[in-house]
Structures are given as structure tokens and as C-alpha cells.
Amino acid sequence: MMNPISNHLILVTAESREKACLQVEEFFKSTLLVRYDSIEIQDEDCCSAEDSTFTALIAKGLAANTAILDNLILEFKSTGFQTVEDLSRVEHGYPSKLLHIITHFLDGFISVDTNFYNLIDDSHWLPGKTAEAIKEYARQHWLISVHCYSESPEKASLIRH
């Protein structure tokens, strides 16, 4: 039985919805960062930047990513981390794993926790240059919604070995 693991909203550039969906499917087939047994594109939740819901969907996804990052940082602080100087003394195990996940959110590695993912910039965020390009070339920018499933949460690895 497949279990729902993650939902992602992926920003891509493509000439059409079909090509945008293919790009997202290829990304999930080839990335080493997450592995799902199945991904399902949610056609009804996909749109181009010409759609009136596009901007609100990105804002919602960015807010969700920010909330996840803020919670991870709060949890990391609860392990005793207070300043940059504490980095050399971060405990191995759970505290260092939290730091690892935090840095992935900052450096752009997609994870099961990612809500919005900008495939254009390999980022959890929306840089100004990309926001400007969306305004100028709305027809070529797409949000593709995917639901991701695995037989077990353990099978949705962060990095395939």
C-alpha cells in the first residue's frame, strides 16, 4: 500500500503544461535527493503565471517553506545552539541532523519537507530576477503540483546510497 509522503509545488519554465509536467517527472526520476515510489501530478492544481491563482500559490508555498525553516531553527536552538561559535560544538546525531536539514533548505536541496520548490534556480525561494522573468514571460512559467507516495516513509530517502 502506498502512503502519502509529500506534496510539492514545483516552479518550472516550459512552452506548455505538458512540457512542464514532463520536466517535473524527469526531475523526480533523476534526482538523488528524494526517492518516491510514485508521484502523481495534480492537474487541477497546476497553472501558468497567466492564471489568477499563480501568485497566491507561490506566496502560500513560500510561507510554508519559511514556517518549516523557522520551526527547524527553533528546534535546533533548543539543542543548545546560540551563536555561530557554537557550530564547532554541535552534537553529532539529532542536533547535527537538524543543522543538515536547515542548510539544505538554504542551499536548495529538495527534501520531503519542501512545500514550494523553484526548479529554475534549484531553490526553496523566489529570487527577484526570477520574479521579474515571471512577470515578463508569464506564459512560460508553470507551477506543477505533485503528490508523492512511498510504501514506507523510510523508502523516501533524503539521499540515495
User: What are the tens digits of pLDDT across the range 79-131?
Assistant: 988 888 888 888 899 999 999 999 999 999 999 999 999 999 999 999 999 99
DSSP state of 86: G
What integer pLDDT is reported at residue 81 of this predicted model?
A: 86
Contact of 86 with 92, CB cutoff 8 Å: no
Contact of 144 with 21, CB cutoff 8 Å: yes
77-101: string of b/e by CB count within 10 Å (b at 16+)? eeeebeeeeeeeebeeeebeebbeb
The answer to whether residue 119 sits within a structural domain is yes
Find the radius of gyration of the CA atoms of the chain. Answer: 17
Task: Among 30-34, 37-41, 129-133, name the one with the lowest average pLDDT.
Answer: 30-34
Q: How many CB atoms lie within 10 A of CB 40?
A: 14
Contact of 27 with 13, CB cutoff 8 Å: no
Q: Read off the pLDDT of residues 49-85 as tens digits, 9 standing for 90 and up.
A: 999 999 999 999 999 999 999 999 999 999 988 888 8
Check pLDDT > 70 for residue 155: no
Q: List all residues 6 or more positions away from 113 whose beta carbon is below 8 Å from its beta carbon.
A: 6, 68, 101, 105
Residue 153: pLDDT band by 50, 70, 90 thresholds?
low
The answer to whether residue 160 sits within a structural domain is no
The answer to whether residue 40 sits within a structural domain is yes
What integer pLDDT is reported at residue 48 of this predicted model?
A: 98
The grid coordinates listed for 114 are 519542501
The answer to whether residue 161 sits within a structural domain is no
Pairing mode, strands 141-150 and 47-48: antiparallel
The more confident residue out of 65 and 160 is: 65
What integer pLDDT is reported at residue 160 of this predicted model?
A: 38
Residue 159: pLDDT band by 50, 70, 90 thresholds?
very low
Q: Which domain holds residue 23?
A: 3-155
Q: What is the spatial distance between Cα 43 and Cα 61, in angstroms, rounded to a whole number?
A: 17
The most distant pair of C-alpha atoms in the chain lies apart, rounded to whole Å, by: 50
Supply the DSSP string of 45-78, one letter for each residue.
Answer: G-EETTSTTHHHHHHHHHHHHHHHHHHHHHHHHT
Residue 154: pLDDT band by 50, 70, 90 thresholds?
low
What integer pLDDT is reported at residue 2 of this predicted model?
A: 84
Per the structure, the count of domains in the chain is: 1
